[in-house]
Amino acid sequence: MKRRDFLKLGTGIVIACRVDPLWAFHGRGQMPRLDYPTDFNAYLRIGGDGRVTCFVGKIEMGQGNMTSLSQLVAEELNVPLGAIDIVMGDTDLCPWDLGTFGSMSLPVFGPVLRRAAAEAREVLRELASERLQIPLDSLVVKDGTIHDAQHPDRAITYASLAAGQVITRHVSGPPPLKDASTFTIVGQSAPRRDGISKVTGTAIYTGDVRLPGMLYAKLLRPPAHDATRIRIDTTAVGNVKDAIVIRDGDVVAALHERPDEAAKAAALIGAEFAFGAAALDNANIFEHVVNAAPAGQQVVSTGTVEQGEHLASAVFEQTYVNGYVAHAPMETHTALAQWENGKVTIWASTQAPFMVKNQIATALGVPPDRVRIITPFVGGGFGGKTMAPQAIEAARLAKATGRPVQVAWDRAEEFFYDTFRPAAVVKLKSGIDGAGHIVLWNGDVYGAGDGGAEPVYDIPHQRVVVHGGWQNPAPGHHPFGVGAWRAPAFNSNTFARELQIDLMASHAGLDPLTFRLNNLSDQRMRRVLQTAADRFGWRPLKAPSGRGVGVACGVYSHTYVATVAEVALDSSTGHVQVTRVVCAQDMGLVVNPEGARMQIEGCITMGLGYALSEEIQFSHGEIADRNFDTYQIPRFSWLPKIETILIDSPALPPSAGGEPAIICMGAVIGNALHDAVGVRLLQLPMTPARVKAALDRRS
């Protein structure tokens, strides 16, 4: 940090902190370099009323960063949490941010924000020192008031310092950050700042924004991903009073001042489509995902496969598969666009407003500075709202009509245009020696991606090659859009790895926990495993023990997680009910313990879905699942008793919180099911039909 600037804006001061973009990544070599703004970007404003407004490019989609980021600012500034207001995801008001995904709000952006707040505090102390004529090191700050440590009556507030000042300062060196041992706000559970608005129905989501003269649009959609429109007839739309039709290239839409009337009108558009030769479906997709895979990338290389095979006394080969999974947020993709004087403002349900800004600029052919994205509350994202095609649609239709236009996908559109978690095939070959040590790990991962592909165990000879993944999928690898789905690639890879570990444990005659600990030297991993097992009351028995208990573990973005679960199986139907889940997580410094627990619970609950029921049904480019009748997501009656344990590691920086606990869910249920009845399901989800078929094959 070379300098800092204070600028006057409105009634308060803007503290434009120059933030070294690499600062956030010290000691985190594997994190990508991000370009948080280095000049003229205000993270904080201290008003004349003493309130602190915090500007962040992150968005709130339920994960609670509105609260935890506010805690960081309040802590470093020494103001009460209640004095913080936070503006999120507005590209005109907030500093650039890559997007809200990858559980990065606290680990990556948190330090940037902390530093900005710490710097503000230090500059305000300098100002106070000059104003009060008290040496800097005699001043302390409490609740937004700076006072002489010896004479508390000699004091001045942030509010009075900030009011009416234009300050430009040049200082050197990073501002001192508070030591974790002195924290009073960070590390304490804080009530959610969005609570009252969300329980009273006053929280504004994109679909709730109203503008004078706005129209609602419903677009004509193809029946299948490989269908092309050959003829349309919009004459019948006139049967709906006041409905209008817009044809703008590939966009054909009916618009109306009432959303339901727009949908009714759109349904009257006659259209004929030509279908392509798409031949993929749920049955042949796995063969395709292997055969159509792009060239592999070796992500792990330790020792040699030959040497590992030589050392192994037993070798195990298995292939694990999982189908496509939808994000299915309760709020569908929604956007509202308004053009004024050549500038477009778009309210959008998105996880990445700054990406969408560029997306709009490109699609509409306008300079990025003529695009403003505002992100109201987002009704769930899970990785599915990174891009915002609905925002492009709204912007085009608003331009064509000259009126504000809302595009809100219905549930069928949401399923059709989702960027699914990709179908995946994981082929593993592993081996153990006579002492029960893993000596060989040879994996090929198709479709999923590299996240979690690296075995976390101590294995001298490892080779893992990843053939295509969720990110930038090769053309033709998947028959429709795929993308990040909560802990991308990790769910597929952890399922395969942790079932493979159990397979070897059974062969070695050891209980799954002991076998894992025998092959793990990583102390953080050992600790979460032992902690979860202790809380569960784990009794070591070789699987299958008939009890229906299982264990799985993994690491996601520096966060260690271990899960122990118990299942009950109805062998007449194949229905698996998870009855108890204990999850221990080590995520470094925990900013908001209750918030962290909520994320773990959410991961466990969402994980029940991909483990037990969720799999998109499709054929010939058509998505058969269009709503929650056929696509079943977890319900109240599915819920196990959930126990969460946060390992206290305040000396470590905060690491991921929103995703880690979901990665074990397929594996822990699969392992528990095997422990119950001795069958291993190698395909997710473990539907009643598949469980029943496996039981029948065994008998």
Using CB under 8 A as the binding rule, the residues of this chain from 391 to 430 that contact another protein are 408, 410-411
Q: Determine if 222 is a binding residue for another protein (CB under 8 A).
A: no
3-state SS class at 555: strand
List phi, psi (to 5°) of 90: -105, 115
Rounded to an integer, what is the distance from CA 699 to the centroid of its chain? 42
Q: Determine if 451 is a binding residue for another protein (CB under 8 A).
A: no
The residue (of 259 and 678) whose beta carbon lies closer to another protein is 259
Q: Determine if 201 is a binding residue for another protein (CB under 8 A).
A: yes
Closest Cα partner for 354 from 94, 19, 85? 94
Q: Determine if 276 is a binding residue for another protein (CB under 8 A).
A: no
The residue (of 523 and 636) whose beta carbon lies closer to another protein is 636
User: Binding another protein by CB under 8 A: which of 89, 207, 447, 666?
Assistant: 207
Is residue 315 within 8 Å of residue 350, measured between CB atoms? no
CB of 329 to another protein, least distance (A): 6
Residue range at the interface with another protein (CB under 8 A); choices 186-194, 351-359, 430-438, 495-503: 186-194
CB of 697 to another protein, least distance (A): 32
Q: Determine if 353 is a binding residue for another protein (CB under 8 A).
A: no
The residue (of 142 and 198) whose beta carbon lies closer to another protein is 198
Q: Determine if 136 is a binding residue for another protein (CB under 8 A).
A: no
CB of 575 to another protein, least distance (A): 15
Cα gap 625→295, rounded to integer Å: 32
Distances (CA, A) of 592 to 24, 113, 114, 288, 452: 20, 16, 15, 44, 26
* Ramachandran category for residue 431: left, alpha or beta (phi over 0 → left; psi -120 to 50 → alpha): beta
Residue range at the interface with another protein (CB under 8 A); choices 105-113, 493-501, 595-603, 690-698: 595-603
Residue range at the interface with another protein (CB under 8 A); choices 28-36, 60-68, 90-98, 459-467: 60-68
CB of 126 to another protein, least distance (A): 39
Total residues at the site for another protein (CB under 8 A)?
Answer: 58
Is residue 141 within 8 Å of residue 127, measured between CB atoms? no
Q: Determine if 64 is a binding residue for another protein (CB under 8 A).
A: yes
Q: Determine if 331 is a binding residue for another protein (CB under 8 A).
A: yes
Rounded to an integer, what is the distance from CA 690 to the centroid of its chain? 29
Q: Determine if 265 is a binding residue for another protein (CB under 8 A).
A: no
In sign, the C-alpha dihedral spanning 130, 136, 138, 140 is positive
Q: Determine if 548 is a binding residue for another protein (CB under 8 A).
A: no
Residue range at the interface with another protein (CB under 8 A); choices 109-117, 207-215, 487-495, 561-569: 207-215
- Contacts for 169 with CB less than 8 Å, ≥ 6 apart: 3, 4, 5, 6, 123, 126
Cα gap 273→221, rounded to integer Å: 10
What's the chain's Rg over C-alpha atoms?
27
The residue (of 33 and 241) whose beta carbon lies closer to another protein is 241
User: Binding another protein by CB under 8 A: which of 22, 199, 236, 279?
Assistant: 199
Is residue 254 within 8 Å of residue 262, measured between CB atoms? yes
Residue 462 β-bridge partners: 302, 441
Q: Determine if 259 is a binding residue for another protein (CB under 8 A).
A: yes
Q: Determine if 238 is a binding residue for another protein (CB under 8 A).
A: no
What is 513-549 written as a DSSP string? HHHHHHT---HHHHHHHHHHHHHHT----PSP-SS-E
User: Binding another protein by CB under 8 A: which of 332, 491, 500, 557?
Assistant: 332
CB of 602 to another protein, least distance (A): 3
Residue range at the interface with another protein (CB under 8 A); choices 195-203, 443-451, 473-481, 616-624: 195-203
Closest Cα partner for 122 from 110, 109, 148, 140? 140
Q: Determine if 191 is a binding residue for another protein (CB under 8 A).
A: yes
The residue (of 510 and 604) whose beta carbon lies closer to another protein is 604
Cα gap 517→515, rounded to integer Å: 6
Q: Determine if 274 is a binding residue for another protein (CB under 8 A).
A: no
User: Binding another protein by CB under 8 A: which of 19, 606, 623, 672?
Assistant: 606
Is residue 189 within 8 Å of residue 595, measured between CB atoms? yes
Cα gap 61→351, rounded to integer Å: 8
- Per-residue binding string, another protein, 627-646, x by CB under 8 A, is xxx---xxxxx-x--x----
CB of 401 to another protein, least distance (A): 18
User: Binding another protein by CB under 8 A: which of 305, 594, 677, 683?
Assistant: 594
User: Binding another protein by CB under 8 A: which of 260, 306, 458, 696?
Assistant: 260
Closest Cα partner for 183 from 585, 647, 590, 594? 590
In sign, the C-alpha dihedral spanning 85, 89, 91, 95 is positive
CB of 70 to another protein, least distance (A): 15
Note the maximum CA span of the chain: 87
User: Binding another protein by CB under 8 A: which of 96, 205, 273, 316?
Assistant: 205
- The structure tokens listed for 280 are 């993929």
For the chain, helix (H) and strand (E) counts, in that order, are 16, 30
Binding site for another protein (CB under 8 A): 61-64, 191-192, 194-205, 207-208, 210, 257-261, 328-332, 377-380, 382, 408, 410-411, 594-595, 598, 601-606, 627-629, 633-637, 639, 642
